[in-house]
Amino acid sequence: MTAPSHSHGRGSLSDLGTSQIDTLIDFITHDDRPTFLLDVKTRNVPFCNSALDSLLQATASRHDFQSWAESLATVAKHVTAQPIDLGTFAQQKWMGKSLESSLMTVFCRWTPALTTQAENTTTLDHHQEQDTPSSHSSNNGNTGVEKLSDMYMGWLEPKDDPWMSFVRNYPFDQTPLGPISSWHIQLRRSVQRMMVCPETRILYWGDQHLMIYNEAAVPILGKKHPCLGMPLVDTWGQVMYDQITETIKAVVSSGKAYQAKNIMFVLERDGFPEQTWHHFYQLPIIGPDSRYIGCVCEFAENTTAVVQENRAAILDSWIKGAAVATSLKQLWSASLNSLSKTSIDIVAGCIFSLSNTADDSPLAKSSMDPQDYFLEASFGVSDIQSRPSSSLLDALKIVPIFDKLAVLRRADDSLPDDLCWTIPDQGTINTLCVMPITDLNDRRLAVAVIAMNPNRPFDEGSKSFITGIADLLRKTAIFITLPEEQRKNEEITSALSDKLQVALLKAEKQEESYARMARQAPIGMYMLRPDGYPVFVNDAYLELHGTSRAQFYKNADEGLAWNPSVYEEDLELVNDMWRRTIEGKKPVQAELRFRTPTTSSPDKVRWVESMSYAERDAAGNVTSVQGWLLDVSPRKLTERLISEKLQDALETKRATETFLDMLSHEMRNPLSGILQLADGILGMVDPPTDQDTVDPLVDAAETITLCARHMKQIIDEVLTFSKLDSNLLVLSLEKAQVPSIIKTALKMFEMEIEHAKITANINVDQSFTDLALDYVLVDPGRLLQVIINFLTNAIKFTKDEKTRNITIKLAASTTKPTEKDFGIAFLPPRKDANTELQILCCLLTAIF
């Protein structure tokens, strides 16, 4: 299209006669309205008057006028000999009238134009959608409000928009797409719609996939921008070109748009590359002949949903892994294993356990010595040390008391250089989270270190996610370290608390779901008003009370509904429990007796464990009392049986001691007679009697006396059985000669040794002589018992052998003998233990 001219033009003007041309030119020249001629075939302006020049200089540019005039050529088929409305340009309304040949005269009505979204140009779509000339006629009876069909939106508007200015001034004439004035009408339409769209849009035109995109697509293109009008293969390469071509062929063949969800793009945002996710749609552009001429690629960002879904999956995996952990070591490993699985937020991590967690010392609570820590598990970084660095432990000093989380960032120089880990395929981290893991007493168990993805922003959502992991990790560690019974109570209380909290916070549908679950629960659950009237009780609760629902509510109308079910002796306890629940702010727990009979109780009384707590509003007023009842009658029966078994065992022990005591006293009487007779024999032997006769008698009497005394000593020790039971039996040390004790033992077995033809002797080692030992401090009775036991076993195993020798070797040493010296294992002394506790343990073992 050429610029408007004041001179006579050739082409279409030559189709008119000379007189007609002169008349027309003269009329237009002297017309005070801005007027011009338009050749609808060539889209040229052969002539315009000076009024139009003045208008363009004051309100619009030549380029805008040319674009607008060119767009009028597309509606020439609707223009007749009667003037029709052509819309608004340069803040004025314009009329058009068809002349002979291909000429159309366009003139201004000199009527102030109504404000539109764009003041300077009209859209092509408006004219293309007009089906009849009547649609372009002036409004009759206009009330001052312009119809939507009379409103126009300019080409690449608004003009003060930097991006629109960039596109208008872009050198498209130097690209295969060519200047804007030569673009296909459908291309112009598509570009106009795409440029005003706030979402990412990229248009591929023709077989070369010439690219046009809006401002929202610039971050996706990155360093490829600007590439407007350039072929796809020159921008993204042959591989991308082939892929786009294949998908376009599939779209055109199937007649359906191509869709791909959650495609990851790395965009430059806020000065650093950021991973984002988009839905991708490919919509074809079909020409008038139903052939493919281009396609529009639409992108809808879905980053928030993808990140949230990923976090939910990571937390679900973490909870499943931590649920099977039975020790802290398993918990550390399972936690990092879950976090290392396709996490968007986390790229690396490690856990250092504290080695001295067995005590409650201040060191165990706040140790800053790296030697007290040990690396338990890690992922994402290979060169991590087995001990934490001092800078890492220093980060624990800035952990807020309630947050339990330290966030170290390179942006504020809080991240030390030695902690700026480089992660493969991710780069150097920008944010590091340090989380101390403590038990219920705030004793530090470990320190978890989490490296955040450098290609994702660390915002409040990321911090909440990491804080949630830290909270779950600490709670799970506390759960593992709690005693078994406390852990069970914690499970019950936590489960009930969670259910009640869900019931209060959820909507009506969720509350109904909870009520359904509560009605079917195996434990009795209830909700009461502050005055004690029931709001909800489940079937298990009524079963424990032994009453029907109708009777229970009838009792509630007459007073407190549970009074008829509770034993009279426990009514005061129930009333006190109710008072403490209403007045206090902590759960109240107690064991009660119900009148409902049961076979699982020792006294046919149903024992229940009750827990209740008050729900309060923001002002602290009680809104309801909730709780549960648990039948503990089987546990009471078990406790009763254990108590009875313990009493039976103690009674049996007492009877045994009585029997041994009686038996020992009865055995003492004949032993006393033996001793007296042996002493009488010794006293009756007259020294003048034949020595050969006396010596055997004396020897026999002395042996009888020795054996009887030893037996009496054994019986005396039986009588001290109770002393053994109470650890009161001690050694009685006194001065004695060890060789004499050994000889006494040999004397006692002299007849048996001779009868078995055994040679018995004492071998005193040189070490005994070298130390010049005479008297030593020993318990003669205990030592004699030991030697007698040795001799008894020696005689038993020697009497049937061919060679029968028994030698007792006596040696001495200033050091304690060891197994290495004699090949004999010396057992360590037994530790003191409570006798009754031992008996109870034995009973429990026997019962169960």
Rounded to whole angstroms, the Cα distance separating 750 from 761 reads 11
At 598 the three-state DSSP class reads: coil
Q: Name the nearest CA neighbour of 711 among 786, 785, 778, 642.
A: 785
At 235, the amino acid letter reads T
pLDDT at 607: 86
Residue pLDDT, tens place only, 366-382: 566 666 778 888 888 77
At 796, the amino acid letter reads K
Q: End-to-end distance of the chain based on CA atoms, in angstroms?
A: 105
pLDDT at 829: 62
Predicted confidence band of residue 842 (pLDDT cuts 50, 70, 90): very low
Predicted confidence band of residue 840 (pLDDT cuts 50, 70, 90): very low
Q: Give the Å distances, CA to CA, from 328 to 338, 352, 356, 377.
A: 15, 11, 14, 12
Residue ranges of the chain that CATH labels 3.30.450.20: 162-301, 487-631
Checking phi first, is residue 178 left (phi over 0); if not, alpha (psi -120 to 50) or beta?
Answer: left
| Mean pLDDT over each residue of the chain, to the nearest integer | 76
**What are the DSSP calls for 436-499, one per residue?**
EEE-TT--EEEEEEEEEPTTS---HHHHHHHHHHHHHHHHHHHHHHS-HHHHHHHHHHHHHHHH
Give the residue, 546 or 506, on which the prediction is more confident: 546
Q: Name the nearest CA neighbour of 456 among 310, 267, 302, 318.
A: 267
User: Nearest 5°: phi and psi at 673?
Assistant: -65, -40
Question: What's the CATH number for 729-831?
Answer: 3.30.565.10
Rounded to whole angstroms, the Cα distance separating 806 from 789 reads 13
Q: Is 753 exposed, middle or buried (0-12, 13-18, 19+ CB in 10 A)?
A: buried
In the Cβ-directed half-sphere of 251, how many Cα atoms lie within 13 Å?
23
Joined tokens for residue 582: 């209403």
- Can you say how many angstroms the Cα of residue 748 is from the centroid of all Cα atoms in its chain? 79
β-pairing, 292-301 vs 272-286, is antiparallel
Residue pLDDT, tens place only, 322-345: 888 888 888 888 888 888 877 888
Fold type of domain 162-301:
Beta-Lactamase (3.30.450)
Residue with tokens 């005193």: 764
List CB contacts of 10: < 8 A, sequence separation 6 or more. Answer: 46
Joined tokens for residue 836: 């009754």
Least trusted range by pLDDT, from 252-266, 677-691, 830-844? 830-844
Residue pLDDT, tens place only, 216-258: 888 878 788 888 989 988 888 888 888 888 888 888 888 888 8
CATH superfamily of the domain spanning 307-481? GAF domain (3.30.450.40)
Residue pLDDT, tens place only, 624-643: 998 888 888 888 888 888 88
**E strand or H helix at 822, and its extent?**
helix 819-822
Residue pLDDT, tens place only, 465-487: 888 888 888 888 888 887 655 76
Helix runs in 117-231, H state only: 124-128, 162-168, 185-195, 218-221
Residue ranges of the chain that CATH labels 3.30.450.40: 307-481
Identify whether the C-beta of residue 594 lies closer than 8 Å to the C-beta of residue 566: yes
Helix runs in 176-258, H state only: 185-195, 218-221, 232-236, 238-254
Q: Give the Å distances, CA to CA, from 318 to 337, 339, 378, 500, 795.
A: 8, 7, 15, 25, 71
Joined tokens for residue 220: 């996706």
Identify whether the C-beta of residue 4 lies closer than 8 Å to the C-beta of residue 65: yes
Residue with tokens 């020992």: 664
Q: Kindly tell me if the per-residue pLDDT of 753 is higher than 50.
A: yes
pLDDT at 168: 83
Q: Give the Å distances, CA to CA, from 342 to 278, 345, 764.
A: 18, 9, 81
Joined tokens for residue 684: 């009756």
Q: Kindly tell me if the per-residue pLDDT of 365 is higher than 70.
A: no
Diameter of the chain measured on Cα atoms:
196
Q: Kindly tell me if the per-residue pLDDT of 121 is higher than 50.
A: no
Identify whether the C-beta of residue 788 lies closer than 8 Å to the C-beta of residue 707: no
- CATH class belonging to 11-139: alpha beta
Least trusted range by pLDDT, from 161-170, 301-310, 497-506, 666-675? 666-675
**How long a stretch of residues is the chain?**
848
Work out the percent of the chain whose per-residue pLDDT is above 70. 74
Span 562-579, mean pLDDT?
A: 87
Give the residue, 362 or 795, on which the prediction is more confident: 795
Rounded to whole angstroms, the Cα distance separating 318 from 5 reads 78
Residue pLDDT, tens place only, 38-72: 888 888 888 888 888 888 877 766 777 888 888 88
Helix then strand then coil, % of the chain, to nearest 5 = 45, 20, 30
Question: What's the CATH number for 487-631?
Answer: 3.30.450.20
pLDDT at 212: 92
Q: Name the nearest CA neighbour of 331 among 229, 231, 479.
A: 479
Q: Is 218 exposed, middle or buried (0-12, 13-18, 19+ CB in 10 A)?
A: middle
Rounded to whole angstroms, the Cα distance separating 577 from 587 reads 10
- Can you say how many angstroms the Cα of residue 408 is from the centroid of all Cα atoms in its chain? 21
Identify whether the C-beta of residue 49 lies closer than 8 Å to the C-beta of residue 29: yes
Checking phi first, is residue 641 left (phi over 0); if not, alpha (psi -120 to 50) or beta?
Answer: alpha
Q: Name the nearest CA neighbour of 625 among 566, 550, 570, 562.
A: 562
- Can you say how many angstroms the Cα of residue 226 is from the centroid of all Cα atoms in its chain? 44
Least trusted range by pLDDT, from 45-54, 466-475, 688-697, 779-788? 688-697
Q: Give the Å distances, CA to CA, from 218 to 227, 263, 266, 269.
A: 10, 17, 12, 11
Residue pLDDT, tens place only, 24-45: 787 888 778 889 888 888 888 8
3-state secondary structure 735-779: EECHHHHHHHHHHHCHHHHHHCCCEEEEEECHHHHHCCCCCEEEC
Q: Kindly tell me if the per-residue pLDDT of 601 is higher than 50.
A: yes
Give the residue, 695 or 94, on which the prediction is more confident: 94
Q: Kindly tell me if the per-residue pLDDT of 153 is higher than 60.
A: no
At 259, the amino acid letter reads Q
Residue with tokens 């205990």: 782
Q: Kindly tell me if the per-residue pLDDT of 114 is higher than 60.
A: no
pLDDT at 80: 67
Residue with tokens 């343990």: 841
Span 176-195, mean pLDDT?
A: 84
CB atoms near residue 439 (< 10 Å): 19
User: Nearest 5°: phi and psi at 153?
Assistant: -120, 125
Residue pLDDT, tens place only, 651-685: 887 777 776 766 666 565 566 557 666 766 766 66
